[in-house]
Protein backbone atom coordinates (compact mmCIF):
# COMPACT_ATOMS: atom_id res chain seq x y z
CA UNK A 1 0.00 0.00 0.00
CA UNK A 2 1.18 3.51 -0.89
CA UNK A 3 -0.68 6.64 0.25
CA UNK A 4 -0.88 9.92 -1.63
CA UNK A 5 -2.48 13.32 -1.08
CA UNK A 6 -4.47 14.62 -4.05
CA UNK A 7 -4.87 18.39 -3.91
CA UNK A 8 -8.03 19.44 -5.74
CA UNK A 9 -8.87 23.05 -6.61
CA UNK A 10 -11.89 24.15 -8.59
CA UNK A 11 -10.46 27.03 -10.62
CA UNK A 12 -13.69 27.60 -12.52
CA UNK A 13 -16.50 30.05 -11.77
CA UNK A 14 -19.04 27.23 -11.31
CA UNK A 15 -19.59 24.35 -8.90
CA UNK A 16 -18.27 21.01 -10.19
CA UNK A 17 -18.07 17.48 -8.87
CA UNK A 18 -14.78 15.67 -9.47
CA UNK A 19 -13.81 12.00 -9.60
CA UNK A 20 -10.34 10.59 -8.96
CA UNK A 21 -9.31 7.44 -10.80
CA UNK A 22 -6.18 5.37 -11.23
CA UNK A 23 -5.10 4.63 -14.78
CA UNK A 24 -5.89 0.89 -15.11
CA UNK A 25 -2.88 -1.30 -14.42
CA UNK A 26 -2.68 -5.00 -13.60
CA UNK A 27 -2.32 -5.68 -9.89
CA UNK A 28 -3.04 -2.12 -8.71
CA UNK A 29 -6.24 -0.74 -7.21
CA UNK A 30 -7.29 2.62 -5.81
CA UNK A 31 -9.11 3.17 -2.52
CA UNK A 32 -10.82 6.52 -1.92
CA UNK A 33 -12.52 8.09 1.06
CA UNK A 34 -15.10 9.71 -1.27
CA UNK A 35 -16.11 8.67 -4.79
CA UNK A 36 -17.31 12.18 -5.69
CA UNK A 37 -15.80 15.47 -4.54
CA UNK A 38 -18.14 18.47 -5.01
CA UNK A 39 -16.35 21.83 -4.98
CA UNK A 40 -17.80 25.32 -5.31
CA UNK A 41 -15.99 27.92 -7.42
CA UNK A 42 -12.51 28.56 -6.03
CA UNK A 43 -12.74 25.85 -3.35
CA UNK A 44 -9.81 23.53 -2.58
CA UNK A 45 -9.76 20.13 -0.90
CA UNK A 46 -6.89 17.76 -0.01
CA UNK A 47 -7.86 14.09 -0.16
CA UNK A 48 -5.87 11.07 0.94
CA UNK A 49 -5.95 8.16 -1.48
CA UNK A 50 -4.33 4.74 -1.25
CA UNK A 51 -3.04 2.52 -4.02
CA UNK A 52 -2.85 -1.18 -3.23
CA UNK A 53 -0.59 -3.58 -5.07
CA UNK A 54 -1.14 -7.32 -5.41
CA UNK A 55 2.26 -8.85 -4.51
CA UNK A 56 1.57 -11.75 -6.88
CA UNK A 57 1.35 -9.31 -9.81
CA UNK A 58 3.36 -6.16 -9.00
CA UNK A 59 7.15 -6.51 -9.23
CA UNK A 60 9.27 -5.14 -6.35
CA UNK A 61 10.72 -1.70 -7.01
CA UNK A 62 9.15 1.36 -8.59
CA UNK A 63 6.06 1.10 -10.78
CA UNK A 64 4.89 4.21 -12.66
CA UNK A 65 1.25 5.12 -12.02
CA UNK A 66 -1.09 7.84 -13.24
CA UNK A 67 -3.85 9.43 -11.16
CA UNK A 68 -6.63 11.19 -13.06
CA UNK A 69 -9.07 13.85 -11.89
CA UNK A 70 -12.10 14.51 -14.11
CA UNK A 71 -15.09 16.77 -13.60
CA UNK A 72 -18.42 14.93 -13.64
CA UNK A 73 -19.45 16.72 -16.85
CA UNK A 74 -16.14 15.77 -18.52
CA UNK A 75 -15.20 19.39 -19.27
CA UNK A 76 -12.15 19.48 -17.01
CA UNK A 77 -9.47 16.89 -16.43
CA UNK A 78 -5.89 16.57 -15.29
CA UNK A 79 -3.50 13.63 -14.94
CA UNK A 80 -0.51 13.33 -12.62
CA UNK A 81 2.23 10.75 -12.92
CA UNK A 82 3.67 9.27 -9.76
CA UNK A 83 5.43 6.13 -8.55
CA UNK A 84 4.14 3.11 -6.62
CA UNK A 85 7.00 1.70 -4.53
CA UNK A 86 7.26 -1.89 -3.30
CA UNK A 87 10.06 -3.68 -1.49
CA UNK A 88 11.27 -7.26 -1.61
Domain count along the chain: 1
User: CA 81, 86, 88 angle in degrees (round to 5)?
Assistant: 155
Is the pTM for the entire model greater than 0.85? yes
Supply the CATH number for residue 50's domain.
Answer: 2.60.40.10
User: What average pLDDT values come out for the chain (88 residues) when binned by 10 residues?
Assistant: 96 97 97 96 97 94 97 96 92
Q: Tell me the residue range of the domain where 51 lies.
A: 2-86
User: CA 78, 71, 77 angle in degrees (round to 5)?
Assistant: 15
Amino acid sequence: ENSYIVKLTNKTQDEHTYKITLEPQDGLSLQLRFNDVPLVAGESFDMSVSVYGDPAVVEPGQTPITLNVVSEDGKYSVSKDNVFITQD
